[in-house]
Amino acid sequence: MDLISWRFTWQYSKDQLKLKYRYTTLGFLWNFLEPAIYLTVLSVVFSLVNRMNISDYAVFLFSALVPWRYFEKIVNTCTDAIVGGDWLLKKMYVSPLSFPMTRWIVASVEFIFSLVIVLVVFVLLKDSWTIHPIIIPLTIIPWSLLGLGLGMIAAVLFTFFRDIRPIIQMLLMVGFFTAPILFKPDLFDNHAIQAQLLRWHPITYFAALFQKPLYEAAWPGGIDWIVSLSFSLSILLLGYALINRYKGSFYYYL
């Protein structure tokens, strides 16, 4: 990306955020309300369905659900980023990377705001606190990079195949329900096939980055860092390479 594209990405992201909240007070409040309502409904439902210790389960569930929702939001908003940037891409040269980047910046800023409410929920649910949650600003990085990487891949695919969105959403859903976010990995016997499969599921290691400090009062393990960082960086590089490879063709498909 050249200097103009970087400057544009930054200015355009700021403008997008400004516009989103300019004429509305509820708009800004919604950032806090939406996760609060979502997490409250989930807690109530699970306390009715499951007879387990609800606040214990809620802390477990929310610890990985919060980064997942951030990740999912990046992928979903990035999907139509390049197509949505046609107003500029058809008229002026800017790097097509600018548009997924902008969506990523906007989603990240909103996520940081919504963390305030998440913090309140955790304070209400958790009995005892340890030092470990302090690592959260670092453990969000692999999630964020994975979201941007997959978002760039989705944006390229969507430019060429406009009917790809349901497929992307289905894959995200499969990823969510097969990962140990809703259920605890110790649900299965260590030698069971399910436990073996979970070890091959990349999201397992991403989830551990949040579950360990928030739920288990432990630091994320070396393997969690290695798998999540190398996986997210590979996806990011793949997305970057795809955009660079096909950027000359976008004009003809916008």
Partner 1 sequence: MNTIFNLSGISVSFDRHTIKQRSLRHALGNIYNRNGHYKTQALKNINLSIQEGEQVGIIGRNGAGKSTLLRVLTRVITPQSGELHIDKSKHIVPLLELGIGFQPDLTGRENCYLSGILMGYSRDDIGKKIDSIIRFSELGEFIDEPVKNYSSGMYARLAFSIATDVRPEVLLVDEVFGVGDEFFMRKCIHRMQLLMHAGTTVIFVSHNLDFLVTQCKRLIWLDQGTVAMDGNSDEVAASYRASQGIKTNNGNQIRKEISGIFSRS
Q: Please give the residue ranges that form the binding site for partner 1 (CB under 8 A).
A: 4, 7-8, 11-12, 15, 18-19, 22, 87-94, 160-164, 167, 247-249, 251-253
Q: Which is nearer to partner 1, 52 or 167 (CB)?
A: 167
Closest CA to 144 of 236, 222, 214, 219: 236
Q: Which is nearer to partner 1, 8 or 231 (CB)?
A: 8
Paired tokens of 15: 């403008």
Smallest separation (angstroms) from partner 1 to the CB of 99? 13
Contact 142, 207 (CB under 8 A): no
Smallest separation (angstroms) from partner 1 to the CB of 28? 16
The CA-based angle 213-217-218, given to 5 degrees, is: 70
Closest CA to 109 of 191, 205, 43, 21: 21
The CA-based angle 232-236-239, given to 5 degrees, is: 140
DSSP 134: G
Task: Please state the separation of Cα 54 from the chain's center in Å.
Answer: 25
Smallest separation (angstroms) from partner 1 to the CB of 110? 18
d(CA 11, CA 27): 21
Contact 59, 215 (CB under 8 A): yes
Smallest separation (angstroms) from partner 1 to the CB of 106? 14
Paired tokens of 135: 């690592």
Contact 121, 39 (CB under 8 A): yes
Smallest separation (angstroms) from partner 1 to the CB of 251? 5
Q: Which is nearer to partner 1, 43 or 98 (CB)?
A: 98
Give Cα separations from 204 to 109, 201, 207, 241 (angstroms): 25, 6, 5, 26
Q: Which is nearer to partner 1, 32 or 246 (CB)?
A: 246
Smallest separation (angstroms) from partner 1 to the CB of 178? 24
Q: Which is nearer to partner 1, 14 or 132 (CB)?
A: 14
Smallest separation (angstroms) from partner 1 to the CB of 12? 7
Q: Which is nearer to partner 1, 222 or 248 (CB)?
A: 248
d(CA 233, CA 238): 8
Q: Which is nearer to partner 1, 12 or 206 (CB)?
A: 12
